[in-house]
Structure 1
């Protein structure tokens, strides 16, 4: 595992070759905005989820009628990526299919992750290229964890406000799989006040209607978080843990009592031969 440091006069970001995962985001005032990966709570920081998001029934998926082992959130987050390009304010890592990946995901693919610092923001872009001769089903998502409380905001109320002011229906998990029945939205006029009790039943999922942006804030400190080509949103923390994950996805966990076929998972992406899918998020640190 190696680290690549990128940045400008406003923001410094470190990215690991393992999973092409962002490890830190520190503004010029010394404030750290990204969760530090303390394994006492959760060792992740900002993993990419590929080729599935969430769990599969019995930790297996079916592809073209054949069952393959597949752990939660896929294998990219635990794979070593190759650094293929970098500069003062960006780095680009790639993961290519190979003998090991073929045993669990029988497609030729290329996954490219770019981290780029722009002002006081980091932009993370994933490109999935189907190098195979047949359509390729998969899920992809981001899982960045931001500190909770925000820097210098320990005594303040923390809120998440959706840019579209919507009240999307809530979905929950059972044993890591998606329950089909939805619940009333915890948002009111697009606003949610964070409380650790919200996560006593695991993540909050919003399969539809959350839009493409939100503001996670406490007083004058905020993360303005936007995303593209990712229709699903999850918000997660462990009860009592000092982080909150803002997770835009294209694909969710398999449904309870649903199919284990990868192509039939909710919101699965299916790329044709030679096609490229692009997915991104931007986190701007304010205050």
Structure 2
């Protein structure tokens, strides 16, 4: 485990998947990250790469050849190299190898750069294309936050507050996890999504093109809250495992296959086309 910290905040990252496993406020003695109980969901904050969500029949087609990828890709299960460690920041690196090339035929360098500044943890995703040809990928976050944050409260005492008013239209997923063709309106002109466990009984709430650039997990009964700030992520998932004591706030550059997909990688909704020698970056932060 790799730990970064300052006088206010401490974060612990597992090099397997470069996964955040703890975000602890030293000032308030509060843990914010779900403790990955395997009976509900044995992850805490996986990176989703080189796809977000699932593929139709776990298969995509590139240049006439079929490849199989599991839901959310492979990076979350692989060992990252600790490329740099500076006490308040750490950089984790994953490169293509024989194992990845058999299911994803591209060269890549994926870096996750964690930095603590004041009472915030920033995570930067950096994808570099070292090859002489274009590569196609999606990337996204999947952090799970304890809910309730305060153990004396209940799940229903918490809500998500959006930075701007939203028409919350979710894109339903079918039984295979594919995005259906028509959105459903949850709530109109609201900044607040009240949490309850039944909200996620039909899988994630998937949103496209939210206007907000931050979402706060909070309760009116306790001052401890977490504000999740993000920019330039066209998709957002809100999810929890059935009856689990957490909520995931998931900014995505990419989305699961649509029910009517042709399965070609270059036609996939939300896919990123990165030119030879190019670099792609996105960042988000968690302020406690």
Return the TM-score normalized by structure 2. Answer: 0.95
Note if contact 1:169-1:208 (Cα within 8 Å) is conserved in structure 2. Answer: no
1:138–1:263 CA contact under 8 A, matched in 2: no
Distance in 2 between residues matched to 1:210 and 1:266, nearest whole Å: 19
TM-fit CA distance, 1:65: 1.8
Do residues 229 (structure 1) and 228 (structure 2) align?
Answer: no
- Deviation at 1:208? 1.9
Ranges in structure 2 where 5+ consecutive residues have no aligned partner: none
Secondary structure at the counterpart of residue 104 of structure 2 = coil
1:24 aligns with 2:4: no
Residue pair 1:177, 1:253 contacting (<8 A) in 2 also: yes
TM-score, normalising length: structure 1: 0.95
Cα distance, 1:23 vs. partner?
0.8
Pair 1:15-2:45 in alignment = no
Give the gaps of 5 or more residues in structure 1: none
Q: Distance in 1 between matches of 2:21 and 2:179?
A: 29
1:145-164 per-residue CA deviation (whole Å, 9 max, x = no partner) reads 00011124514621111112
Cα displacement (A) at 1:188: 4.4
Q: Is the alpha carbon distance of 1:112 and 1:203 closer, same or farther for their aligned partners in structure 2, counting shifts above 3 Å?
A: same
What's 1:254 paired with? 257
C-alpha distance in 2, partners of 1:132/1:164? 40
Aligned to 1:64: 63
RMSD over aligned CA atoms reads 1.3
Cα distance change, pair 246–153 in 1 and its aligned pair in 2 (3 A): farther
CA distance, structure 2, for counterparts of residue 180 and residue 226 of structure 1: 29
C-alpha deviation, 1:209, in angstroms = 2.3
User: Residue 173 of structure 1 aligns to a residue in which SS?
Assistant: coil
Mapping 1:267-278, distance limit 5 Å: 267-278=270-281
Count of residues paired in the alignment = 283
| C-alpha distance in 2 between matches for 1:52 and 1:100 | 16
Q: Distance in 2 between matches of 1:129 and 1:229?
A: 18
SS of 1:281 mapped into structure 2: strand
- The 1:153–1:270 alpha-carbon spacing in structure 2 relative to 1, beyond 3 Å, is farther
Contact kept in structure 1, 2:40 and 2:242, CA below 8 Å: no
- The within-5 A match list for 1:42-121 is 42-121=41-120
- Superposition deviation, residue 210 in structure 1: 4.4
Deviations 1:83-120 (A, max 9, x none): 01011111101001111111011111100001111111
Distance 1:214 1:153, change over 3 A: farther
CA drift of 1:60 comes to: 1.2
- Runs of 4+ in structure 1 off by over 4 angstroms are none
What's the counterpart of residue 148 of structure 1?
A: 147
- Separation in 2, partners of 1:64, 1:183: 35
Matched residue, 1:185 = 186
Q: Which residue in 1 is equivalent to 2:214?
A: 213
More strand per residue: 1 or 2? 2
Which SS does the other structure have where 2:266 is aligned?
helix
Q: Give 3-state SS (helix, strand or coil) of 2:122's partner.
A: strand
